[in-house]
Structure 1
Amino acid sequence: MADQPPIPFHRGHFLFGSTFSLLRDSLGLLRQLQQQYGDQRVVRIKVGRRMITVLLKPEETKYVLQENNRNYGRGRSYKILREFLGDGLLTTDGDYWRRQRRLAQPAFHRQKLALLADTMIDEAVSWTSQLQRLDKTQPVDMSAALMEATLRIVTKTLFGSGLGDQTTRLSQALNDLNHIISQTVLNPLRLPNWVPTPANKSYINASGLVTDLITGIIRERRQSTGKHDDLLDMLLRATDEETGEGMTDAQLLSELVTLFTAGHETTAASMSWTLYLMATHPDVQARARAEALRTLGTRTRFSADDLRAMPYLTQIVNESLRLYPPAWAMSRLSLGPDQLGAYHLNADEGVLISPYLLHHDPASWPNPDQFDPNRFAPDRSADRHSYAFLPFGGGPRLCIGNQFALMEMVALLGQLLVTFELQPITSEPMLPRPLITLRSKQPIRLYLRDWPV
């Protein structure tokens, strides 16, 4: 290996490397690395005491996530997520992960998702009806409104019913966890949970509320003799085709907490960005509304089939996910030495993959900061590298709920556009804030106007 070039190194601070740049402005650091080292395809940075190799191009990303995925396990940041999420699909590796994936996958087959689509549509209709009763002269905090809407959808599709007076407490607990875990993942000087800091106390209280609530739901459902058309019922009935065994309560808890957290928070964050882009691009909004009205026809509500029959709305959702991918970064750990293109990678090295960075690479996306849903028209997508766009990850670990999330976003967007014209309250651009998911620094507030007759 002596004749191979070393991986380019971004020195950063002479003592702390890129640690504080990552903490202060993660997205800015990634864009800087793309500009300076894009031609070399990978770059190494120092974070805390560790060296991390950042992948800058889709080819190397595909190699790590798909072609040689068994050599790359979950990165160290997932150990922090594991404390809350448990041993679920998001946090585990190897044979255990493969077994869990086999058990959970049938619940997300297309036919099963069709059963859940009506629930999404019903909740979207109910949500817009509530919004219609608001004062139209005042802006609406769409970030908060979407948190409520997606929470209702995920509770109904997961558990078959709402959570009553627990909903507000649960939503606040999930919001607290997002902030606390985000800071913990990025901070190399983390204090263990037993240290009674305010953040640790909030974490213990919030995570306890979520797990206690879902544990109680599992216990009640185990005792029920009825049949339920929800994801919990599908997971409870799932059995491993090789062993005939189902999930234990602990496994169910881990998967439900993961689905509940991801299905609520990430969709709300993504939809907030989508509505912001609609409000600031009225021509796109008008075309999308025309497609939604054309699809709806004389009916009063969309059908499950309609959600797959609105290609322009799907293009809008994809372009929003490109600009503001909810999972903006993911980490891997090399289990053995490997060859990344021209460079040698040692075992036990951190690897950082950033969908945000890949989605803003001008080599794949000309004028990458411009909002243009037509990028996802079939004639413009055919020659694009399959790993230039990965809002849900890629390879065997492609997010199991990706189709669920896309259906939900199209349902909410279509219902909202046939009801309201979205208008911005300011010309100032909204800036992203990279927590566990990519949120906006300020709540996205919009005017919801009645469409002119």
Structure 2
Amino acid sequence: MSTTSSSKRPIPVHPGLPLVGNTLEYLRDPLAFMRRLLRTYGHERMVRIAIGGRKTTLMLKPEEAKQVIQENNRNYGRGKSFAILREFLGNGLLTSEGDFWRRQRRLAQPAFHRQKLAILADIMIEEALAWSNRLSQLDQAKPVNMSAAAVDVTLRIVTRTLFGSHLGSELDNLSHALAHLNHVANNAVINPIRFPKWVPTPDNRAFTRAMAKVDDLIYGIIRLRRQTGESRDDLLDMLLRATDEETGESMSDNQLRDEMVTLFTAGHETTATSMAWTLHLLVQHPDVMGRAKEEIKSVLGHREFPSATDLRAMPYISQIINESLRLYPPAWVMSRLSLGPDRFDDHEIEANSGVLISPYVLHHDPENWPDPEQFDPERFNPATTSERHPYSFLPFGGGPRLCIGNQFALLEMHAMLIVLLHRFTLVQVPNLRITTQPLITLRPKNAIRIYLQKDN
């Protein structure tokens, strides 16, 4: 921890209303609220706020974020908001903590090594091609709901890469059930009043039904795979065969279920949202789209579709994706709870204190990102990225808890974007206003619609 100063000053407190604190200001527009805090308290590097009856400290600068999630990470557990996610994700990598989390991470990590991802990349390309074929059958005179279209293809990709098949009608049951669970979790984020699960509210009843569907399907797949012993190049197979190097133990059915649900949820909804934002930015910047299409053509030549190697050979496509993740990070805020006190120069965090780190705030700080609202993929030109603090860009978190599926998600987005731009020119729908909806993930409030013109 940082101890460069022996003096200590109180952390500034943002004024709020009696009883509710800053809750109303936050609920009205969380992103605008946090940008105001950055402008007002950025020189102090952190600020205390009160939301939903809980006092918490928002870290405003990369160095403080690094101390929390990397340098002194063992002093910080998951914040109370993770209890909402734990209700349906279980004790998977996203929500678990301590020694249990470290063991699970060791078990799961080999499934995401580069060689394993190269196998899964072929599936991503196949599904992206089938997706573009479906899109090509649509009426070009009508705009396409790309928010829904992105969910469709990521759902198919994550199903095949996780379970090795499309699952047929079971896929619809699983996706609808998980959509219910997401809906309930997002309602819990918005609504400070929460009833215990045994109270038969509409949300609680929907939650119970959805959980039963998810568990029946996932446990059924796990049992069948154990019984048959069938070997497949999918993530379930890799996790079933994983053993802890220290203990020789493998994952139980409960642990497999929690990891499958976590990966399924993160692998399609989050990636689909990020893809939709990327397309929204491209239609507003046809010069960037034109340069991307040129890069794709120069790499692919006369080939109709990319190979897994091609996905990593287009630096400008990577710059576009990174800039989209900067402007609209899916995990826009992360909560932690201090287990003991911690010192940040002349400020001190007490034990059992709430801490917030917002990638959205870090990504919109003009100190690291001049003109931060502007879409400019050149920010991620390799010649300039070394000039910024590494923790000024956290689309997948950082430190030991860096998202295990970050390279999976990036490959998925590369495959979708390359295939789409190789076949279509994207055209903006006039007067379409898209606003943000910061729930568990940073979503567009209304559907992103785009005209797709087939290239000759």
**Interval of TM-score (by shorter of Structure 1 and Structure 2):** over 0.9
Shift of 1:2: 11
SS of equivalent to 2:57: strand
> Is residue 298 of structure 2 the alignment partner of residue 324 of structure 1?
no
Residue 94 (structure 2) pairs with residue 94 (structure 1): no
1:239 alignment partner AA: T
Q: 1:306 aligns with which of 305, 310, 324?
A: 310
Distance 1:208 1:426 in 2: 44
Structure 1 position 428, deviation (Å): 4.2
Which of 392, 395, 404 lines up with 1:391 in the alignment?
Answer: 395
Paired amino acid for 1:33? L
Q: 2:190 touches 2:439 (CA, 8 Å); kept in 1?
A: no
Residue deviations 1:81-103 (CA, integer Å, cap 9, x gap): 11111111111111110000000
Query: For structure 1, which segment, 410-419 or 157-166, has the greater mean C-alpha deviation from structure 2 after superposition?
Result: 157-166
1:22 pairs with 18, 22, 26, which one?
26
Q: 2:304 & 2:7 partners in 1: Cα distance? A: 68
The RMSD of aligned alpha carbons is: 1.4
Residues 1:412 and 2:424 are matched in the alignment: no
Partner secondary structure for residue 331 of structure 2: coil
Show structure 2 runs of 5+ residues with no match.
none
In structure 2, what is the equivalent of residue 180 of structure 1?
184
Among 250, 254, 257, the residue aligned to 1:250: 254
Is 1:52 equivalent to 2:56 in the alignment? yes
Deviations 1:213-239 (A, max 9, x none): 111111111112321000000000000
Partner SS state of residue 439, structure 1? strand
Structure 2 distance, partners of 1:429, 1:315, is 25
* Pick aligned residue for 1:358 from 352, 362, 365: 362
| Rounded Cα–Cα distance in structure 2 between residues aligned with 1:364 and 1:425 | 32
Question: Does structure 1 residue 401 correspond to structure 2 residue 371?
Answer: no
Q: Counterpart of 2:392 in 1: which secondary structure? A: coil
2:347 to 324, 343, 358: 343
- The answer to whether the 8 A contact 1:41-1:55 is kept is yes
The one of 8, 19, 24 equivalent to 1:4 is 8
What CA deviation, in whole Å up to 9, does each residue of 1:37-60 have, x standing for no partner?
A: 111100000123321000000000
Aligned residue pair count: 452
Once the two structures are TM-superposed, the CA of residue 3 in structure 1 deviates from its matched residue by 5.5
Deviations 1:52-85 (A, max 9, x none): 0000000000000000000000001111211111
Q: Is the 8 A contact 1:179 1:435 kept in 2?
A: no
What CA deviation, in whole Å up to 9, does each residue of 1:401-436 have, x standing for no partner? 000000000000000001111111124441110111
Whether 1:436 and 2:455 are equivalent positions in the alignment is no
The alignment status of 1:140 with 2:144, answered yes or no, reads yes
Contact kept, 8 Å, 2:335 with 2:355, in 1: the verdict is yes
Maintained 8 Å contact 1:425/1:445: yes
1:315 equivalent in alignment to 2:319:
yes
Secondary structure in 2 aligned to 1:387? Answer: helix
Q: Is the 8 A contact 1:60 1:341 kept in 2?
A: no
> Hey, what's the Cα distance between the residues in 2 that align with 1:23 and 1:212?
36
Q: Name whichever of 305-314 and 12-21 sits farther off.
A: 12-21
Residue in structure 2 matched with residue 230 of structure 1 by the alignment: 234
TM-score w.r.t. length of structure 1: 0.97
Aligned residue in 2 for 1:372: 376
After TM superposition, the structure 1 = structure 2 runs for residues 130-279 of structure 1, keeping only pairs within 5 Å, are 130-279=134-283
Which consecutive residues of structure 1, in runs of 5 or more, have no partner in the other structure?
none
Query: C-alpha displacement at 1:11, in angstroms?
Result: 1.5
Taking the aligned partners of 1:293 and 1:213, their CA distance within structure 2 comes to: 42
CA distance in 2, matches of 1:25, 1:195: 30
Shift of 1:261: 0.3
> Matches of 2:432 and 2:142 in 1, distance apart?
18
The alpha carbon displacement at 1:166 in A equals: 2.6
What is the distance in 1 between the residues matched to 2:50 and 2:140? 50
